[in-house]
């Protein structure tokens, strides 16, 4: 079932066109990878879906979430969707978390925003989701501030917060780029395991071809704000048609990235 339709999306910042005439669909349970170099427009698409672009952004086109045009609804309606139906894991979790509030306060406030729940029940839910993301060691640290935990711990908190309200779409914006190789593998495996268990859809944004090849079922390749190629992961990585995609793959192989092409 189709849950997200992006149609002719164009995003401009003053005279700079960050995204140009982008269209794609996302289906229930799908894992869509968006790959491209820095500045290709990947993150701008994600922020447009959530309507969290900078104030000077000029947006054209349509984004339909289960048939509802997100650009035509009020912010109060969007607030109900953002975080509950569509959630996002940001690139730097320690910057995404509010430094002025403890981990526990942020988890509980998010739950209370989207669910009719008491503090005690919200706290138990927060603890349960820390267990789900294999971060039981953080339960005694719920009164810690984000700067008092490691980057890997902060990322698990972000994943727990993203999943607590049971979203149907999880947007992952370079969620492992600030982590070391070992933690990257753990976080990727965790996201994949949770997606298989909970059946939510994923948009996974990355410049790392090896990661995209392992986690996605379909891929969009972006260059200078435009989609230049799209298709199944197997098709994109084994038989790319666009010259830019071919160069990306050759660069990855030159750098000895282990692409999962089996």
At 96 the pLDDT is: 84
At 250 the pLDDT is: 82
Beta bridge partners of 170: 87, 202
Output b/e per residue, 137-159; b: 16+ Cβ within 10 A: ebeebbeebbeebeebbbbbbbb
At 165 the pLDDT is: 87
CA dist., res. 184 & res. 17, Å (int): 32
Provide the whole-model pTM: 0.90
**1-85+168-262, CATH topology level:** Rossmann fold (3.40.50)
One digit per residue, pLDDT tens: the chain, 262 residues? Answer: 899 999 999 999 998 999 999 999 999 999 999 999 888 999 999 999 999 999 999 999 999 999 999 999 999 999 999 989 999 998 887 778 999 999 999 999 999 988 888 999 999 999 999 999 999 999 999 999 999 999 889 989 999 999 998 899 999 998 887 777 788 888 888 899 989 888 899 999 998 888 898 899 999 999 999 999 999 999 999 999 999 999 888 876 645 555 555 4
Reported as type and span, the H/E element at residue 158 is helix 151-164
Token couple for 242: 């666009």
User: Which among 99, 67, 101, 100 is positioned nearest to 81, based on CA atoms?
Assistant: 67
At 262 the pLDDT is: 47
Burial environment of residue 197 by CB neighbours within 10 A (0 to 12, 13 to 18, 19 or more): exposed
Per-domain residue ranges of the chain: 1-85+168-262, 98-166
User: Which among 1, 191, 6, 12 is positioned nearest to 88, based on CA atoms?
Assistant: 191
3-state secondary structure of 5: strand
The answer to whether residues 126 and 112 touch, using CB atoms and an 8 Å cutoff, is no
User: Which among 98, 102, 167 is positioned nearest to 139, based on CA atoms?
Assistant: 102
3-state secondary structure of 33: strand
């Amino acid at each position: 079932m189709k849950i997200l339709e992006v149609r002719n999306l164009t995003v401009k910042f003053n005279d700079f066109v960050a995204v140009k005439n982008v269209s794609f669909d996302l289906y229930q349970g799908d894992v869509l990878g968006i790959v491209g170099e820095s500045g290709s427009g990947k993150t701008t698409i994600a922020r447009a879906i959530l309507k969290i672009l900078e104030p000077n952004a000029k947006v054209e086109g349509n984004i339909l979430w289960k048939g509802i045009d997100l650009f035509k609804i009020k912010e109060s309606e969007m607030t109900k969707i953002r975080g509950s139906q569509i959630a996002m894991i940001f690139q730097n979790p320690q910057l995404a978390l509010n430094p002025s509030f403890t981990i526990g306060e942020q988890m509980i406030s998010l739950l209370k925003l989207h669910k009719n729940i008491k503090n005690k029940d919200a706290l138990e839910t927060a603890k349960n989701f820390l267990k789900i993301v294999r971060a039981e060691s953080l339960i005694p640290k719920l009164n810690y501030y984000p700067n008092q935990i490691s980057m890997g711990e902060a990322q698990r908190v972000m994943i727990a917060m993203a999943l607590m309200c049971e979203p149907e779409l999880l947007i992952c914006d370079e969620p492992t780029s600030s982590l070391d190789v070992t933690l990257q593998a753990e976080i990727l495996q965790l996201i994949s395991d949770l997606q298989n268990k909970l059946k939510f859809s994923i948009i996974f944004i990355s410049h790392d071809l090896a990661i995209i090849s392992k986690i996605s079922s379909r891929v969009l390749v972006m260059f200078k704000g435009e989609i230049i190629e799209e298709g199944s992961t197997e098709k994109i990585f084994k038989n790319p048609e666009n010259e830019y995609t071919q160069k990306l793959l050759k660069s990855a192989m030159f750098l000895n990235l282990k692409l999962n092409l089996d």
